[in-house]
Structure 1
């Protein structure tokens, strides 16, 4: 059971702080680039489905172009299901199947991914990751992403990125100097010819990458963020790397409390081999990097000031305001210092929403500004209720 190997988030931050003198590396998946405006793999799948549908139904209405609309998705999925040749909805085969089905020519797939990253800039998480690298805490970033955001962020933050991809994998065997950040694109890079998208491609992992992944992490901790664990070859490479003798730990930072069975299996196998591996439930890439940076430089006032300044220019209040939480075990307690009675709404609505490529907090603030609704984003959902002042008026009469 994953509970046995689950590490509480606050304990993870303390562990990171205690080990800032140990070199770390990161493995980043698609979830780390969402806040930078990069489309998710899930949305890519639906765009490919839409493209297939429209190319086979030339006279279809413009209505079907809005593939992020739930009713459009249902209609397209019904058509796909009726064809009898497409994977089941949300099956693990969908990504590689539709990537190849929509764009069977490899260079067309490369151009598709290139179009996704045009004019996109690295957001807070990438900037703070480079700050950790600047001070020698992070030495390498391994990624399944094609977007090149970590390379771009390194250039913008006083670092020299050493780009390693499928076309020059031998560069991974090198002596690394200060102010250099190894950036290993495990699935290729949109700037080059080699990308891994299809079943055949994803089921194989470059031998140089596999060998160095194991050697590199004998004495280095690896933090996984934004990666689901669906790539069999990469999961096998991680298993091989962390079941051989060594001291480096694996911290798997997931989104929510329930990881995929593949992740659970990996952590259990590593733990049984004598190496340390943990699952940590987090609230996304950017927040995790903010907290890691603050924890790592808690005793350094100059760097802490740099972090705060970086957050304040982000134009997102949720990142630079101090978090406040009360861990109530029972709901019938009182806050004695409050002069007014505490009233909780009787109903709270939970639903999903299309943010239209805007940041969650900014979007919700805009649509609730002129009414009496309070809405917050949390773990890919929105929780909404009447604003407490209006609710108080309501229950008073």
Structure 2
């Protein structure tokens, strides 16, 4: 059996510099994941939606019971259901998307795709109807050209099912192979699940001079890519192709960083991308017990620090910067962006940790609004610092998660949590018959952008400790039973409790006497909407 080793990884900064040296030598292979920031679901998102649909239909369950697809307990429940089916591949299988698609939309496949995929643009587009057009356009250098390997909902032919993906249109596949012999390739938003596409990428590697500009695979998240992706990069490296796995926060962020290094490019439209017309207007705060109809939201306005420390050194990547801090046992909160290492903490601590990496600049950085509108490194840094500030001031501890941090009481017996007990009757305990599974009443928190500012979003939930793959379904059942009767009144009381509990002025992440600390203010009133009759 062929051994699989971890592929060589490049920092996003390193990739950006390499791209800037050869922009005309690299083409892009974009999957649905590249459009996540625009609200279009990725293949991974759709997998969970398919599982949710099948669970509700086959178990005759309430859609509300599995509505929160970001909840690990609900995901475990859905995975358990799918794993019990003899017709569907196991969760995480490369064939999972196609099999779930067929099971969810056995007849009206094209209608389903028409609801899923976005519209085409004004560039030259080649779909499955006319594969020969791809060769003509590429040969004539009619850039930009978009070749849709799985078709388009405007086409008469689509490819989404297992057999279709396995037997990709031979002509288009050959065009991809030929293009990879002339140019390097950057892959973004694509998991590598489709055998037909991966076969083509491997075939190109077998050709003399394949990927002359390199092969770079952009990957979101901390989980490893699929095994076939790892093998492709490993083979490319063995063949002497410049290649690497590049971990990114989002496609939008890496694209912005690339654009900044391209000369003579007008970026005014890109800079104004997220500054569309406002669709909301301010409403007066409700008063009295019987006010006008409103919808209470779960966001608290956040005031953030204006600056953070910025230093330039040779350390590469977020993971490396944070590892250096951990190894030095330093009280710093840091991230790594193209601009350099950004963070909060004592100046002496910054120099102690990063002097070995050759500091060439030691300055301040200002948080720019345009960098906070999406999941950028700066927004991640602010979230980390805010959670530290809340833990320091509000008698909570954090359980870190990629999508949201979970806060639970440090001492549930403290009188400060009497208000929570009045709503939930119990704030902590163990799952019956499973003494190793401890649960807490807690809240998920994350930062999001709306109305030209950052908001702290609150999501009251049951938080578990000691969960294993074998007990995920058990915790999902327990959480559902405990929360199933929490209707609007109880949820309103929970959000109100957590809002007042976490609100505060002058919340400091580190409480240091020198350097740059992170100082926040969190409002106590959640956002709300008012219905205005025309």
Q: TM-score, normalised on structure 1?
A: 0.69
**SS in structure 2 at match of 1:101:** helix
Q: What's the counterpart of residue 128 of structure 1? A: none
Task: Specify whether residues 259 and 72 from structure 1 end up closer, same or farther in structure 2 by C-alpha distance, changes over 3 A only.
Answer: closer
Tell which deviates more after alignment, 254-263 or 207-216. 254-263
**SS in structure 2 at match of 1:361:** strand
CA distance in structure 2 between the aligned counterparts of 1:259 and 1:83, rounded to whole angstroms: 25
**SS in structure 1 at match of 2:330:** coil
CA distance in structure 2 between the aligned counterparts of 1:211 and 1:322, rounded to whole angstroms: 51
Q: What's the counterpart of residue 187 of structure 2? A: 224
**SS in structure 2 at match of 1:303:** coil
Q: What's the counterpart of residue 141 of structure 1? A: none
- 2:401 maps to which of 330, 348, 351: 351
CA distance in structure 2 between the aligned counterparts of 1:4 and 1:88, rounded to whole angstroms: 25
Task: Specify whether residues 266 and 181 from structure 1 end up closer, same or farther in structure 2 by C-alpha distance, changes over 3 A only.
Answer: same
Q: What's the counterpart of residue 370 of structure 2? A: none
Q: What's the counterpart of residue 98 of structure 1? A: 100
- Structure that is richer in helix per residue: 1
Q: Does 1:66 align with 2:67?
A: yes
**SS in structure 2 at match of 1:191:** coil
Task: Specify whether residues 168 and 283 from structure 1 end up closer, same or farther in structure 2 by C-alpha distance, changes over 3 A only.
Answer: same
Unmatched segments (≥5 aa) in structure 1: 117-145, 156-160, 316-320, 375-385
Q: Does 1:173 align with 2:176?
A: no
Q: Are 2:6 and 2:230, in contact at CA under 8 Å, matched by a contact in 1?
A: no
Q: Are 2:221 and 2:247, in contact at CA under 8 Å, matched by a contact in 1?
A: yes
Q: Are 2:94 and 2:194, in contact at CA under 8 Å, matched by a contact in 1?
A: no
Q: Aligned-pair distance for 1:189?
A: 0.9
Q: Aligned-pair distance for 1:85?
A: 4.1
Q: What's the counterpart of residue 508 of structure 2? A: 389
Task: Specify whether residues 4 and 192 from structure 1 end up closer, same or farther in structure 2 by C-alpha distance, changes over 3 A only.
Answer: closer
Q: Are 1:243 and 1:270, in contact at CA under 8 Å, matched by a contact in 2?
A: no
Q: Aligned-pair distance for 1:167?
A: 1.9
Q: Are 2:33 and 2:41, in contact at CA under 8 Å, matched by a contact in 1?
A: no
Q: Aligned-pair distance for 1:199?
A: 1.7
Q: Are 2:137 and 2:145, in contact at CA under 8 Å, matched by a contact in 1?
A: no
Q: What's the counterpart of residue 335 of structure 1? A: 347
Q: Are 2:55 and 2:78, in contact at CA under 8 Å, matched by a contact in 1?
A: yes
Q: Does 1:195 align with 2:158?
A: yes
Deviations 1:253-291 (A, max 9, x none): 112463322112101212323433222222221111000
- Structure that is richer in strand per residue: 2
Deviations 1:63-121 (A, max 9, x none): 3462626455444544444554443333333211111112222xx122112223xxxxx
CA distance in structure 1 between the aligned counterparts of 2:13 and 2:271, rounded to whole angstroms: 20
Task: Specify whether residues 76 and 12 from structure 1 end up closer, same or farther in structure 2 by C-alpha distance, changes over 3 A only.
Answer: closer
Task: Specify whether residues 303 and 63 from structure 1 end up closer, same or farther in structure 2 by C-alpha distance, changes over 3 A only.
Answer: closer
**SS in structure 2 at match of 1:27:** strand
Q: What's the counterpart of residue 449 of structure 2? A: 362
Q: TM-score, normalised on structure 2?
A: 0.53
CA distance in structure 2 between the aligned counterparts of 1:204 and 1:308, rounded to whole angstroms: 41
CA distance in structure 1 between the aligned counterparts of 2:91 and 2:99, rounded to whole angstroms: 12
Q: Are 2:16 and 2:258, in contact at CA under 8 Å, matched by a contact in 1?
A: yes
**SS in structure 1 at match of 2:261:** helix
Q: Does 1:11 align with 2:14?
A: yes
When Rg is computed on C-alpha atoms for both structures, the one with the higher figure is 2
State how 1:112-131 maps to structure 2 within 5 Å.
112-116=112-116
CA distance in structure 2 between the aligned counterparts of 1:204 and 1:304, rounded to whole angstroms: 40
Q: Aligned-pair distance for 1:237?
A: 0.5
Q: What's the counterpart of residue 110 of structure 1? A: 110
Q: Does 1:89 align with 2:91?
A: yes
